[in-house]
Structure 1
Amino acid sequence: MKTKSSHSAENGFSPVRSVDEPDVESLNKIIGSATNFFKQSSLNDFCDGVISHIATLYGLHKEDIICAKLGSLFDRRESNIRFCGVAGKNDNLFNHSLNQLSDPHVEKLLEDAFTLKHEILLENESVLYFISTDFQMALYVRAHLTREDSLYRTLQYFLSSISSGYISIVEVIHLRSTAYNDQLTHLPNRNDFIKLLNNPDYSTSSDGLHVVLVDINHFSDINDGLGQDVGDLLLKAISKRLRASFHETVKLARIGADVFGFLGPAKYLLPNQISDKFVAPFRAGQYALPVRISMGLCKIESEFDNGLNIIKRCNIALNLAKKKAGLNYRWYNSELESHTAWRLEHIRKLSIAYEQRKLQVWYQPQLDFKSRRIVGVEALLRWPDGHGCFIAPDIFVPLAEYSGLIVDMGYWVLRESLTAIKRLRQQGINDIRIGVNVSIMQLRNSDFVEQVKDMLTEYDIEPTRLELEITENILMDEPQIVIESLHLLRNFGVQIAIDDFGTGFSSMSYLQKMPLNRLKIDRSFLKSCSHAHPSILAETVITLAQKLNLKTIAEGVEREEQAEYIESLGCDEVQGFLYAKPLRFNELSNTLQMQLNNDSHDTKLSS
């Protein structure tokens, strides 16, 4: 196909000109520059750079070169020819359809190249053609070319480079999308949120900016119980509602599996304003799911604040909000960060102490009021500080629970306790029960019941010699799991006690479902009680236990008046410094041996 072209400056193109052969140095510049073009982050910038370079090098106008593309890496079904390389006065045509070009002749030449899938070389103009697996490209040049020209070969190479560069740029765009956008909700992700925090727009608020992290409580239960598909639908529903609910100056992101981040003017991001968005259930497929949240909030104090540090501060507040009953949010303050640093340091020390077996198990005797004999002991974990004192359990037990160490430590205490029972039995002491505290994290383990059974079998201990103590508040967290596990253990013969009874929030309905043997009356009910100063709470607990046919044991008894009063109410057993402090195993063994000897002596006298 050979035609003559008669374009004039009126239709946007310069008159036809011949092109001189480039020298070797110029060719090298062209070929070497392709790599630099690949680094452009914008498709438009990339192609504009290519065209500008060609035009400058060969004395052409930018409008003399037009590159078009058929097909798309974004959408394989794309059937329109679109401009992917335009410059100068045509720059506004980028990514527009070919029919937007004001020159029908050039439009027709490009269409013909795509139809023929071949280059078109005319007397005064040329169209080069390139095809890849994903798209086709055609490059119009207002210049005469022959296959023998070095310019022809150079432009062919450049067209190939443009194609490769286009693929590279699309990959960059995809990688950037993956790096900065959440693929499920299409919200900005954590990386993009950090970028926003690094450069917040203070002009949006005269009252300062708030940053909020919102955690979906028990989201894993939804995934586990209803399936991940439902969980994904829930996250989409939440993001959709949040997008529609806040002022346009509030920036929203998904920064974790079940955590959303907010950045915006203080007046739009107050705790009650966010909580209100979660009052109504969310539709996730066939389910209408109620959602409860926890929030950590902080203020951006300075334009020099770092995004990572801001998120860290919000996380500190969020973690405390998740652990605090009642209020579902916490504001960050510097004291929280100091406490966090203290906590992490002590968790590190506790972990080392556990690994190096520096923790100890002591045993506090429990006496029967009627016989005044030791009938049981409670295993108590001790952490020596290395200076002759001990770190209080009120300090290190919460640290163990927070870090998850409590599970391994709990099993270790149980093994130590069963070892103690076995050693006592070898000494002829067969009637002692041992109480071991159990945490909710242990009860959550699916194999906890089997672990306890296996240990009892391994140590050849009668299940009735083991009493597992749980706190009342455990029933507030997944009560069904707790109750089912305890029923299995009780059926096996293990005894069950509630520790510090009366200080928690369990309901009577839960109490009646629990397979209990014993209620332990909290020391706070007995602190100042006596016949002269009766304790209504202690009396109520004992009466309740008697109605439920449960045994009772009073904790923390230190005075004779306390003991006399509590015994008069019908309490069965007692534990406290009045009778015995916690003992090392050897001390306990000696004490029980003396009791055994006294029992034998009394038997001989009675006979």
Structure 2
Amino acid sequence: MFTSEHWGEFMIYNIDFDIAALFFLLALLFIFYYKKWIPNTQNKVFSAILWVSLFATITDILDAGMSSSSGLFPMDIHQIILYIYFLLIDALPILYVLYIFSLTGVEGKLFEGSRKYTFFGPIVMILFIILANFNTGWLFSYNSEIQNFDRNYAVAILNLIAFYYLMFGVKEIIKHRRVLGTEKSVALCLFVVFITLPIIIQMYMPHLFVTMFGVAICLFLIFMTIQGSEEIRSSTGLLNRNAFISCINIYNDKKEEYVIIAIRIRGYRYFKRVFGRTKMKKFLKEIGSSLDNYFENQNRAFYLGGGRFAVLLPSRYSSDYIIPDLQNIFNKEIDGEEMKINFASNFCIINCPSDVNDIDSLLQLIDKFDKHIDESKEITYASQIEMADSKRIDEIEKAVDRALLNDSFEVHFQPIYSLDKKNYHSAEALIRLHDEKLGSISPAEFIPIIERNGLIIQVGIIVLRKVCEFYLENKLNEKGIEFVEINLSVAQCMQKDFSEIMQKILREYDINPNWINFEITETVAAESPELLSKLMTTLHAKGFQFSLDDYGTGYSSMISLIELPFHIVKLDREVVAKLSNVKTQIAIGNTIDMLKKMKMYVVAEGVETQEQVRLLQDMGCDYIQGFYYSKPLSGQLFIEYIQKQMSVV
């Protein structure tokens, strides 16, 4: 046990807990800075909390050493250490409140209305008490008899102010608990417990320095549940799309000028099919490592998925100077088993805010560059890219806002027919939007927009709730409908508390998880395999089932089928449409045979003719979905259709 003694009157201070806290905090700081992090308010405040806690622990240890060694250290030095300690320890609850506000995204509201007085008023009081101590001794004073410092009644006042800030924070946690989620809310509330209990213990046992150990434990908990769970790395080792969006928002909030260099590997999807996901992943990691080294690990490079990268530079950097170096990094040769391929890339230079001034427009521009690039131009400037009709996009965004406000999104259902049971055994839920001004808007138009502006998560929750209500109200299980399929987007799969939200909604409606089947496209499975595997494993353990949608369009691999818990595989409509081709029949027949041996059920989408039904049935296909049986129907028409089919049977 680490202890200190002083001469004369025997006195021991136990600093074991402070020593442990010191190692904890040093480890957290090392991991925090070793891990890539973006310079947003949340991370800046958490970094400040770590450093303040570290120095508060050091000053606490120094105070213990000096207090237990009376007369060995100059009084002035000991006094300075105490002032520093009180400033640091009283800064922690304030930083705690700032951290909570940064997590909810409303930190700016601290400076609005009466809240600025309730937040900043006690800070003035803390500074007054500490600074006034030079003349008053309210906080601590020198006792010449024992040659040491006595702590006085103002310490209790500072403790009360600290408790005020902790309660201030708890109030905000309760207010924003839905935004924060259960896991974050619990971790933040435990911070109060782990600070308050050690303070109470130390009040009754002043020789036992446990306060900073409680702080360190709680920071470790927050790091593991909140900071550590922040998904900002891609499989390449670079920062991912979410981190890119956060960094752009930081620049936009500061109204700073910056340059984006968007980079696209030509023919990425083709090469991925030729070389396989593993070799391409290795190649992308090599590029990621080269970019990190080039920018000296300054978090300038991002991987956006699908062979697309982005480099974010302050306006002082010259893109003309950097582009040749980036070309050397990207234009590499990769060895295959039977061939060597020289990769080439396209670059797009975007000056912000002159070219685009918001994140939605920027992402739209990058997507436009990716899809409509002139392959003959290695370098393209944003001004050369024709943007989509922004007026139409604005109109659709307003229509989406109206639909959210008025709860006017509709869910249609397309029946899925069982070839074995000769009945409709399930249905796919499809969202529809009919606006009072624009009329019916195609999902192909509004879904990419709500994915880009982040509303897909909110809309996805609406769809799930409407499906649950519809299933219960119409007792679909009694009508032979075993489950309803709901599509998941990339954004939903990447949402940290998605699993928790889904389970909570089902508990509200008392819905059996087996009645819900989530459809995941090949694109999602290919681009986010690690994150998706974790999500699917969690939900599968709770009883949810999964379908792999659009199978056969070329984005997936055997690894997705083998490693992920898919229950159903849906053949893409583009493949089914070519069933009249003999080669297609052979390919689909072999595919169905393989999937059946893997104990999976097969659904054919887009079936429109009796001949397609016959061929698929001969091949052993389990289920049929398409216009041959029914188009997507509104809820009422779907029930009428199913009841009619039941009466025929």
TM-score of the superposed pair, with normalisation by structure 1: 0.50
* Bigger helix share: 2
**Structure with higher RCO (Cα < 8 A, 6+ apart):** 2
